[in-house]
């Protein structure tokens, strides 16, 4: 029993790390733009597809495919960000919902049109098990947790000390005032979105060796897992997102292990409802935003 408990906890931390890397991009985009990006999971899908494609067609190694996947996702995000996301500054809330849902449909169907609707097998990554605290764990899962820790340390440093990070905080705290001090809000929105989408792509390609299946609709589920996380974490809050993602990852893992796998995907929204009954403003309110 104790053995199973530890194993589920480790699994939960790995799942939480995946969610955290995806969700942080969505929460940062919300922070500067006040738009829920319903297409966020699609960048996770694009990253996975890009990596799968170059491994299958060009026989590239997994590390090279990661670089390619993140670069391609970033490029796509620059295009979408330039022509769409930055134009959402000051637009009514529903514009953001419709536009990002539209992007989501386009990207999903583009993947199906280009590569077919069937499930693909992802053949890459480091799936050899290693022993950790007495549990067997695939190397890839350890890699995911390490990357998650590095991403969050990097983001924290960026948001606290860099010019870009300070501009992001400025836009999220008082967008009207940014014009007065000369911050280019559209440019901040564009680059925040590109960082966020690239992280989603990175998360996708990191998870692919563990999930092994690649398909056009895979991003949708990720978007809907991300939503409760960013709400629990306090919209726009980077550190809160990490903790909320871990809570959800571990809760899912325990439900899957002890109650039943079929209930796993409902955990996010059930946890969200319970948490909102207890703390309507999210687990972490304004004080530690960004």
Partner 1 sequence: MDKSELVISDLRAGYGSLDILNGIDLDVGKGEFVALMGPNGAGKSTLLKTLFGQTTIKSGSILWQGGNIAGLHPREILSRGVSYVPQGRCNFPLMTVDENLQVAAFTIADDKVLSDRDYVYELFPALQARRSTLAGNMSGGEQQLLEMAMAVLQRPKILLVDEPSVGLSPTAIGVVFEELQRIHANGHTILLVEQNTKKAMAVASRAIILRLGKVIWDGAPADITHDELGELFLTGRMAKEDASMP
Which residues sit at the interface with partner 1, rule CB under 8 A? 163, 166-167, 169-170, 173-174, 176-177, 179-184, 286-287, 289-290
Q: In whole angstroms, how close is the CB of 92 to partner 1 at the nearest point?
A: 17
Q: Which is nearer to partner 1, 13 or 175 (CB)?
A: 175
Q: Cα torsion at 248, 250, 255, 261 (round to 10°)? A: 90
Tokens representing residue 268 in the block:
């996010």
Cβ-contact 195, 28 below 8 angstroms: yes
Tokens representing residue 135 in the block:
């549990």
Q: Give the up-direction half-sphere exposure of residue 234: CA atoms within 13 A in the CB hemisphere.
A: 17
Q: Which is nearer to partner 1, 103 or 170 (CB)?
A: 170
Q: Which is nearer to partner 1, 47 or 236 (CB)?
A: 236
Q: In whole angstroms, how close is the CB of 30 to partner 1 at the nearest point?
A: 16
| Three-state DSSP state, 6 | helix
Q: In whole angstroms, how close is the CB of 274 to partner 1 at the nearest point?
A: 28
Q: Which is nearer to partner 1, 139 or 173 (CB)?
A: 173
β-pair partners for 253: none
Handedness of CA 176, 180, 185, 191 (dihedral sign): negative
Q: In whole angstroms, how close is the CB of 279 to partner 1 at the nearest point?
A: 19
Q: Which is nearer to partner 1, 181 or 277 (CB)?
A: 181
Please give the distance of CA 288 from its chain centroid, rounded to a whole number: 20
Cβ-contact 103, 84 below 8 angstroms: yes
Give dist(CA 221, CA 225) in Å, integer: 6
Q: In whole angstroms, how close is the CB of 186 to partner 1 at the nearest point?
A: 11
Q: What is the DSSP letter of 12?
A: H
Give dist(CA 43, CA 202) in Å, integer: 9
Q: In whole angstroms, how close is the CB of 180 to partner 1 at the nearest point?
A: 6
Q: Which is nearer to partner 1, 149 or 179 (CB)?
A: 179
Q: Which is nearer to partner 1, 1 or 180 (CB)?
A: 180
Tokens representing residue 167 in the block:
């501009």
Q: In whole angstroms, how close is the CB of 67 to partner 1 at the nearest point?
A: 30
């Amino acid at each position: 029993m104790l053995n199973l408990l530890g194993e589920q906890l480790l699994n939960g931390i790995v799942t939480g790390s995946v969610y955290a890397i995806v969700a942080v991009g969505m929460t940062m985009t919300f922070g500067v733009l006040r738009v829920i990006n319903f297409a966020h999971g699609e960048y996770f899908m694009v990253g996975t597809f890009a990596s799968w494609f170059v491994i299958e067609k060009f026989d590239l190694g997994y590390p090279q495919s990661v670089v390619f996947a993140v670069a391609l996702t970033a490029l796509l995000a620059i295009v979408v960000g330039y022509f769409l996301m930055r134009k959402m500054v000051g637009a009514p809330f529903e514009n953001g919902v419709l536009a990002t849902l539209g992007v989501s449909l386009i990207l999903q169907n583009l993947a199906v049109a280009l590569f077919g609707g069937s499930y693909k097998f992802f053949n890459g990554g480091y799936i050899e098990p290693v022993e950790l605290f007495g549990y067997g764990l695939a190397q890839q899962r350890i890699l995911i947790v390490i990357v998650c820790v590095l991403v969050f340390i990097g983001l924290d440093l960026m948001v606290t000390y860099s010019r870009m990070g300070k501009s992001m905080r400025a836009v999220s705290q008082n967008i009207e005032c940014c014009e007065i001090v000369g911050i280019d809000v559209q440019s901040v929105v564009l680059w925040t979105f590109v960082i966020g989408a690239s992280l989603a792509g990175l998360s996708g390609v990191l998870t692919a060796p563990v999930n092994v299946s690649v398909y056009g609709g895979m991003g949708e589920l990720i978007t809907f897992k991300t939503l409760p996380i960013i709400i629990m974490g306090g919209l726009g809050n980077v550190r809160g997102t990490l903790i909320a993602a871990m809570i959800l990852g571990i809760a899912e893992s325990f439900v899957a292990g002890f109650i039943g796998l079929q209930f796993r995907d409902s955990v996010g929204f059930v946890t969200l409802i319970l948490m909102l009954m207890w703390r309507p403003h999210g687990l972490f309110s304004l004080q530690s935003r960004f």
